[in-house]
Each structure stands twice: as C-alpha cells, then as structure tokens.
Structure 1
Amino acid sequence: MTMDPRGGSWFCEDPVSTGQEQVVQRICTRVAGDGVNVAALPLGGLQVWLDNPRHRWRFHHRMARELRLAGWHTETGPDRLLLLGWSAVCLSHRARMLGAALTGRLADYDKTAFTAVMIATRLLHEGFPAEELPAEVESRCADALRWPTRLDDLDGLERRSSLEPMRLRLAQVAGLEAKVARRCGEHLALASKVARTVAGGAGPDRTRTTGRRPSALGAGLTERMVCVSVPNMADSTAGATVTAR
C-alpha cells in the first residue's frame, strides 16, 4: 500500500478485486465503444488500451474521467490508461456528486413528470406503439438521469481496503449509491406511470428496477456498519470488502 503525497490518495497493491476487470470493461466500453482491452498489472491495478488508435487521446481522457468518478486513481500514458487503485480524493468527489444528485436533480420529481409527458406525447404523434411507450419513456428518462447507467456499471464490484479511513470512504459511497438507486427507481416508476396515462392505460405495469438490484435497494447503513466492524489488519489481503450488488 502506497500513498500519493500530492492528493492523499491510497493505491492498493492487492490483487485485482472480484469483478473489477468486468466493471472497468463496462465503463470504458460505454465511453469508447468496442475494442477496449483490460488486463491486470503485475503489482496491482489495471491497464486499459484500445484496438483502434484513432482518437485515442480523447477516449483515454473520457474513460479516465468516468473511472475517477467511480473512485479510482488513473494515469494516462501515450498508449494506455492505468488504473492504480482507490483514491481518497476521487471517492470524496464521488460522495459529493452523489449527495448533489440527491438534493438536486433527483429531488425534482416534477421535472421527470414533465419530461415523461413530453417524450410520450411526441412518440405517440410519431406513431410509436402505445403498448411499448412506458418502457421507451422510462429508458429515455433513465438516460437523462445518467445515474442509473453509472450504477449499473458497478454491478458485482467488490470494493475493499485494508485501511480503516479508506474503508469508511468506500462504505459512505456505498450508502449514498443505495440512496441514489432508490431515488432513481422512484423517478423511473413515475415516468412509466405518466407514459401509461398518456397512452390511455396501454402497456404493462412497471416491473423493472433500475440502478442497484432489489437486494441493494434495502441497503442503508448496512455497508457502513459492516465496514467499520472489520478490524484494520496489517495484511493487505485481510482488508474489508464492500460489494456493489
């Protein structure tokens, strides 16, 4: 375990955690499209490179931005992107962004209802099938909210650290993500209901859960309590884990 004196960020030399490669692959593919390669580094962390060299610099920086928003420290090289472990600075920024979403856009249900009405009305005028309208409106509202996709990207990720301060940061983020996922689910349920109303009751009731899956929607302080209860072991392999479900 080493520390970056510039930003107080900790970089884990532990082996890549369960699901991390798949999560990074999903995030980078969403940003850069197909042709993304992810592999583990010998001393911990991951390297990401693209098959197509065109616009490499632009995609590297876009991928780095999304990975930093998830809480990782990244370094951009000439031909690849390096992911070097959890960053206290990036995790704090993620917590601020999640908190801002809860008090900002995700607190405005009227905007979601208005957006759903506008989308549904326009689609109906364009001849979109009424029975498919609720699902389509919900999908477009999810894209507008942005957080449902970002939370889905982290499905299955095991987040761990042997350091208590980092465990607390990870647990804080996990708790905020669960709140954001629940709030997103409420917004999308509203969007689906509005679309059914516009369509004259056509379409099935909403059954899709967006963001974290039902097992995580009931999570509140559980992640934090589990995290704090695990002793801070000197052995890096004994670090506590927080899993995104």
Structure 2
Amino acid sequence: MTDPQTGSWFARRPRAPQAPDRVILRICARVAPRDKRVHVANMPLGGVEVWVDGNGDRWVHYHRMARELRLAGWFTEVTAERLMVLGWSSECLVHRARMLDAALAGRLSDYSRTARSAFALGTRLREEKVPADEIATRVRDHVGRELRWPDRLAELDGLERTASLEALRLRLAQVAGLEAKVSRRCAEHLTLASQVVMSLVGPDAGRSARSWTRAPGRLIGLTERMVAASVPNRPEVPRPETVTVARRDLAETPR
C-alpha cells in the first residue's frame, strides 16, 4: 500500500532505535585518540565491554571514556584490560541533569559570546579568501564545539532509554526534558552564528563592520543587533492605575 503524497507508507515510519553498544562505541571513539581502534561487545549477563588495541596508555583512555559515559548516565567500571558499562546509574543521571541545568544557565545563555566568536572567526576566514560556503561550515562547526552539547546530544540520538525501576524511569524522563531544552538552545546559537556569517559574506558586511568600529555610540554593533534579533520582544505589561485612598481621622473612627 502506498501513500499518494509520500509514495510509500514505510517512509513515514520512525527511525529504528539505536542499540546501546553502537551509541557507546560512538562516544568512546570520539574520546579515544585517532590512532586507537575502539571495540565493543555485549556481555552475556548484560552490559557492554569496551577495549582498545595496543598497550601503553589504555588506562588513561578508559578513564576518559568512562567520564563521558558517566556524563551520559551510565554506571561504569574500569580495569587495566577493559572498560565495562553496566547500565543506568541514578547518581550519574542526577549529575547529567545538573550539568544540563548548568549549561542552560551558563554558556548557553550567553548569546553575545556566540556572536562575537562567529564574527571573529568569520572575519579571519574572509580575510584569508576562504569561499563563502566553507566559511559558514567552519564557523558553525567551531561554535558547535564551543557549545559542546550538540555533539553530545547527537551521539545519543536514536537511543531508546528505558529502565525497570520507577526511580530510574523518572530520572530518565527528567534528563530527556532537559536535553530537549538544551537542544533548542543549541539550535538558537547555531542559527545566530549562521546569521552572523550571512552578514559577513554579504556585499555590505565590510562597511557594516567598519561603521560599527567608527561610531560605537550611535550605531549598534553587529553582535548586539544579532543578539537582540534572537530574543523575542515581550509586550509591556500595563501597570494598574494608582488608587488614592482617602485618609480618615482617628477621631472619626467609631468606637
């Protein structure tokens, strides 16, 4: 059976969920050095084991991987030979919720820093005669690395997070809600960076930057204009009219 609009009913199905071992592999591969190959395998009694080829600093690599996996909410154990991921941890999920809250109140609330960073990098790349489309890509990637959370959230994309214990399910639901807020905030920052790049590669970008530098008192700078554009205007709440209450003499008060 086909859908007359999309051509197939199967195109409307949601994407298949990602297996935990594939997600764990993505996280560990990001943390590990490029010359180290990461392996994962499901353990017979549950959980996932991770190991890397070679000797040397495997202990250091495992602890770095464990840190990122704990930030995702998993309980981990590290030995000299391998790293074991043993399921969701209530303590680690609480820590993840705190980190997400801190990101919302900290770096992700600073739109001005994003605009300044995008403007500085975009200007340097433009002076180096980098093509406009490459400038947009490099600025967006740079801002994403500064924010840190876009890559972290993308690594967990498609992972079906469930638990048999009610307390863990509540923690997972809390984390999912905070992740949705962080994802929207990251999208706003990346959109702001794209707006800065579009202003730089346009025909009047150079003149706008020079006028901002010459007359900062009369003209609003590029950073401030972009930040102002990203914040929705809120209608002013009308204040209630002042009511004058007549004062009565104490002598007139009936006793």
Q: Identify the TM-score tier after normalising by the shorter chain.
A: 0.7 to 0.9
Which whole-Å deviations, capped at 9, do the CAs of 1:200-239 have from their partners, x for residues lacking one? 169xxxxxxxxxxxxxxxxxxxxxxxxxxxxxxxxxxxxx
- The CA distance in 2 between the partners of 1:55 and 1:115, in whole Å, is 35
Corresponding residue for residue 132 of structure 1: 134
- The CA distance in 2 between the partners of 1:52 and 1:197, in whole Å, is 49
- The CA distance in 1 between the partners of 2:95 and 2:82, in whole Å, is 24
Which whole-Å deviations, capped at 9, do the CAs of 1:48-80 have from their partners, x for residues lacking one? 000122321111010000000000010101110
In structure 2, relative to structure 1, the CA distance for the partners of 1:137 and 1:43 (3 Å cut) is same
Equivalent of 1:89 in 88, 91, 95: 91
Deviation, 1:131, is: 3.0
Q: Which runs of 5+ in 2 are unaligned?
A: 1-16, 205-255
Cα contact 2:59–2:79 (8 A) shared by 1: no
Select the structure of larger CA radius of gyration: 2
- TM-score in terms of structure 2 length: 0.70
Which whole-Å deviations, capped at 9, do the CAs of 1:24-58 have from their partners, x for residues lacking one? 00000001135100001111111000012232111
Matched, 1:71 2:76: no
Cα contact 2:93–2:172 (8 A) shared by 1: yes
In structure 2, relative to structure 1, the CA distance for the partners of 1:201 and 1:172 (3 Å cut) is farther
Q: Which runs of 5+ in 1 are unaligned?
A: 1-16, 203-245
Corresponding residue for residue 23 of structure 1: 23
Greater length-normalized contact order (CA 8 Å, ≥ 6 residues apart) = 1
- Identical aligned pairs, as a percentage? 57
SS at match of 1:158: coil
SS at match of 1:74: strand
Deviation, 1:18, is: 4.9
Corresponding residue for residue 50 of structure 1: 52
Aligned AA (2:167): P
Corresponding residue for residue 3 of structure 1: none
Aligned AA (2:85): L
Equivalent residue pairs, number: 186
Corresponding residue for residue 104 of structure 2: 102
Q: Could you list the runs of 4 or more consecutive aligned residues of structure 1 that deviate by over 2 angstroms after TM superposition?
A: none
